[in-house]
């Protein structure tokens, strides 16, 4: 493990590494909802499939795949640059019996998406769920996805089109500090466009005629509105209110609640929209 890559300080991967214990809660379930949608797309996974779960995080994509196969399961290789994500995923996989002695159906590794070490022409299906906007060299990562796919294999790649939580986060911030610059997530805004996704896949080697992109609406949600506020508080307050007084931080939380629209409060859900690309080699 000592020779495995580690995230560079200050990068998105380093931030994910620090937040791995609470990662899925902080996503409000929207990442898993996108993963579930990816698995409805053709060509669907079969028991004979050989799958890459790229930038796997805590194993959301893999867990959804394995949940489709109560008996014989496809072979999955999962990789992420954040060591704590991989450790948490591995512990969960062992507890569920997905990793056991003498069984190589699931292999989890610390690996950089921009420098995959799998052989050429390995995978029938390659999933990168909401990882690409955070890769420093996305074209290089796309080239590795292309390289490691079998000829005729398919890549499923999702990015964000609309980050619905930003509106209430920004409204709450400006109600407390009207002259402040709205906080932004560490993701280039160009990644919110379909064009950026298609461009990166093209530079990675995929032919434009073999790339299909659609939108998918999902929810960033809590069990109830109090839970939703707690999730958003845990996810964003330290970033948005950095340098503020304690009373201002508490005021931001109250204004966050006031910034939710009526239907968002009633459903404890903020709308998110993903771009979903299906690209064949």
Query: Are the C-beta atoms of residues 114 and 137 closer than 8 Å to each other?
Result: yes
Question: Which of 196, 4, 179 minimizes the C-alpha distance to 86?
Answer: 4
- Give 10-51 pLDDT, tens digit per residue: 444 444 444 444 777 889 999 999 999 999 999 999 999 999
Query: Are the C-beta atoms of residues 23 and 131 closer than 8 Å to each other?
Result: no
Domain boundaries, the chain: 12-163+187-222+269-280
Mean pLDDT of 116-142: 97
Query: Are the C-beta atoms of residues 241 and 183 closer than 8 Å to each other?
Result: no
CA distance 248 to 158: 36
pTM score, whole prediction: 0.90
Report which DSSP code applies to 7: P
Q: What is the CA radius of gyration of the chain?
A: 19
- Categorize the per-residue pLDDT at 186 as very low, low, confident or very high, splitting at 50, 70 and 90: confident
Mean pLDDT of 210-226: 97
Mean pLDDT of 62-80: 95
Query: Are the C-beta atoms of residues 127 and 36 closer than 8 Å to each other?
Result: no
Q: What's the token pair of residue 31?
A: 């990442």
Query: Are the C-beta atoms of residues 121 and 63 closer than 8 Å to each other?
Result: no
Q: What's the token pair of residue 27?
A: 């996503």
User: Rounded to the nearest 5°, which phi and psi values hold at 242?
Assistant: -55, 125
Assigned CATH class of 12-163+187-222+269-280 = alpha beta
Q: What's the token pair of residue 184?
A: 């932004």
Mean pLDDT of 252-270: 98
- Give 92-105 pLDDT, tens digit per residue: 999 999 987 666 79
- Positive/negative CA dihedral, 262, 267, 268, 270: negative
Q: Mean pLDDT of all residues in the chain?
A: 92
């Amino acid at each position: 493990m000592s020779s495995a890559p580690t995230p560079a300080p200050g990068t998105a991967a380093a931030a994910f590494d620090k937040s791995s214990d609470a990662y899925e809660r902080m996503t409000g379930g929207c990442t898993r909802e996108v993963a579930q949608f990816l698995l409805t797309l053709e060509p669907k996974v079969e028991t004979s499939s050989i799958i890459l779960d790229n930038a796997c995080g805590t194993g959301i994509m893999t867990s959804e795949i394995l949940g489709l196969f109560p008996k014989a399961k496809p072979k999955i290789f999962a990789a992420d640059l954040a060591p704590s994500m991989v450790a948490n995923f591995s512990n969960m996989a062992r507890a569920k019996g997905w990793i056991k002695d003498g069984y190589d159906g699931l292999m989890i590794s610390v690996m950089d998406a921009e420098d995959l070490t799998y052989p050429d022409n390995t995978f029938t299906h390659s999933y990168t769920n909401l990882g690409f906007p955070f890769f420093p060299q996305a074209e290089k990562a796309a080239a590795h996805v292309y390289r490691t796919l079998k000829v005729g294999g398919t890549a499923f790649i999702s990015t964000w089109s609309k980050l619905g939580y930003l509106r209430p986060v920004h409204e709450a911030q400006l109600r407390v500090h009207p002259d402040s610059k709205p906080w932004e997530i560490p993701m280039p805004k160009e990644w919110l466009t379909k064009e950026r996704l298609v461009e990166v896949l093209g530079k990675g080697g995929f032919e434009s005629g073999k790339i299909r992109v659609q939108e998918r609406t999902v929810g960033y949600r809590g069990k109830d509105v109090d839970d939703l506020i707690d999730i958003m508080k845990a996810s964003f307050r330290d970033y948005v209110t950095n340098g503020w007084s304690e009373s201002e931080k508490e005021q931001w939380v109250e204004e966050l609640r006031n910034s939710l629209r009526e239907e968002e409060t009633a459903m404890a859900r903020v709308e998110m929209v993903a771009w979903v690309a299906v690209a064949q080699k």
